[in-house]
Amino acid sequence: MTATVRPPTAHPVTRAAGRVFKARETGILIALILVILVATVRNPSFLFSSDGFRDLLLTPSLLMLVAVGQAIVIITRNVDLSVGSILGLTAYLTGRLFIDVPGIPLIVVFLAGMGFGAILGLINGALVAFAKVPALVITLGTLYIYRGINVAWTGSDRINASDLPADFRGLGTGQLLGIPILTIIAAIVLVVAAWYLRNLRSGREFYAIGSDPAAAHLYGLRVTRRILTAFIVSGVLSGLAGVLYAARYGTVSSGAGTGWELQAIGAAVIGGVAISGGVGSVWGAAIGAYLLLTINRALPILGIEDFWQRAVVGALIIGAIVLDRLLALRQSRKLLEAREDAQ
């Protein structure tokens, strides 16, 4: 015990560079940049036209919000399949509020959407945390329930762009210093979530719970409360994405957000968030969301019919988890060797 093991000291800059280079998120970022590069070389307007640049930032912003919430849930070794249904419900709620309450302030609509998302997330979280039932089953159930309520409420009705006030729709298309407002909102959420998970004690507890729920419980962490929080955050972010969905697209039918749950999980997994919990960051999930949707837009430019887009997404997800597995194996072999050397 007297000879404390000292990590090899290196210059801070090289160490930081090494960390950036080794981070799981870097690989996915390089892939994203490559996709953008190749698409831009083929067709310069992909990046350099004002529309192209705007789309590049704007389209994935909503998925990014949902994927950040999903990543937090997956880090606690749970999963939230109901995010698409929550998004659909809050998007319709947004439209209804503008129709039924003329002149309603925007901030109230945002709070209502996020509050409604929080309630739906709380239902998920309470069922998972108190009934001790796997999140997969519960959120599969609430996926049906929320979507069913949405369809029953909407019927064949739908929200049209003309129902929404102009300043609200302006949010969906507006820009600040050339950057879409939606992207700025999503980026703020991302930075706050990443900072919280990385630096605060309660944020680290999410990782502890995901790595080993039983140990976290024995250690005295408030597992129930953290799991509730994770689901509420996921609900709030899906709710926010729902409000912004209405702003961005203008039309909301009962099918809004269908299938987003798999895209959000896919984004998180591609970004290095392990489905078995405790590993990954919201940065990875966010970059994963950008990669997924940027590939969508790049495929037609590369001369591949966009019908193949989902196959590419699937191949990406599988490639990402195989890569993670190989990296984990190499890491554990390295640690074993290090231990043997030390002895």
Partner 1 sequence: MTATASQTRAVRTYKAHSQPLWRRLLLTRETSVIALLVIVIAVALAVVPNFDSPLTVTYLLRDVAPILLIALPMTLIIITEEIDLSVASIVGLTSVMTGILTEAGWPFAAAGVTAILVGMVAGAINGFLITVVGLPSLAVTIGTLALFRGIAVGLLGTKAVTEFPEYWTDLAKDNIPGTPIPGIMVPFIVLAIAFGVLLHFTPFGRSLYAIGLNKEAAAFSGVDVGRTKFLLFLMSGTVSGFAGVYFTLLYSNARGDNATGMELSVIAAVLLGGVSIFGGRGALIGVIAGVLLIGTLGSALRLAGVTSDIINVITGVLLVLSVVSASFLAWLRRKRISAIGKKKGRSATSVDAP
Distance CA 280, CA 290 (A): 16
Burial of residue 149, with CB atoms counted within 10 A of its CB: 0-12 exposed, 13-18 middle, 19 or more buried: middle
**Residue reference for tokens 């699937």:** 314
Sorted by sequence, the CB contacts under 8 Å of residue 307 that are 6+ apart come out as: none
- 203 interacts with partner 1 by CB under 8 A: no
Distance CA 17, CA 22 (A): 9
Q: Which of 68, 65, 77 is nearest to 274 (CA)?
A: 77
- 161 interacts with partner 1 by CB under 8 A: no
Burial of residue 129, with CB atoms counted within 10 A of its CB: 0-12 exposed, 13-18 middle, 19 or more buried: buried
The one among 318, 331, 335, 337 contacting partner 1 by CB under 8 A: 318
In the complex, minimum distance from the CB of residue 87 to partner 1, in angstroms, rounded to a whole number:
17
The stretch among 112-120, 223-231, 237-245, 321-329 that binds partner 1 (CB under 8 A) is: 321-329
The one among 62, 64, 79, 240 contacting partner 1 by CB under 8 A: 79
Q: Which of 225, 289, 249, 314 is nearest to 70 (CA)?
A: 289
The one among 5, 11, 220, 307 contacting partner 1 by CB under 8 A: 307
Q: Which is nearer to partner 1, 110 or 231 (CB)?
A: 231
In the complex, minimum distance from the CB of residue 15 to partner 1, in angstroms, rounded to a whole number:
32
Q: Tokens standing for 113? A: 């959407």
The stretch among 2-10, 60-68, 108-116, 311-319 that binds partner 1 (CB under 8 A) is: 311-319
Burial of residue 307, with CB atoms counted within 10 A of its CB: 0-12 exposed, 13-18 middle, 19 or more buried: exposed
Q: How many CA atoms are closer than 13 Å to the CA of 154, on its beta-carbon side?
A: 26
In the complex, minimum distance from the CB of residue 154 to partner 1, in angstroms, rounded to a whole number:
9
In the complex, minimum distance from the CB of residue 126 to partner 1, in angstroms, rounded to a whole number:
10
- 314 interacts with partner 1 by CB under 8 A: yes
Strand extents, DSSP E, the chain = 175-176, 179-180
Q: Which residue type, as a one-letter code, is found at position 280? A: G
The one among 99, 106, 122, 151 contacting partner 1 by CB under 8 A: 151
Q: Which of 20, 218, 200, 186 is nearest to 209 (CA)?
A: 218
Within residues 99-138, the interface with partner 1 by CB under 8 A covers: 127, 131-134, 136-138
In the complex, minimum distance from the CB of residue 180 to partner 1, in angstroms, rounded to a whole number:
27
The one among 59, 142, 183, 253 contacting partner 1 by CB under 8 A: 142
Q: How many residues bind partner 1 (CB under 8 A)?
A: 43
Within residues 220-279, the interface with partner 1 by CB under 8 A covers: 254, 262, 265-266, 269, 275-276
In the complex, minimum distance from the CB of residue 132 to partner 1, in angstroms, rounded to a whole number:
6
Residues forming the site for partner 1 (CB under 8 A): 79, 127, 131-134, 136-138, 140-145, 147-152, 254, 262, 265-266, 269, 275-276, 305, 307-315, 317-318, 321-322, 325
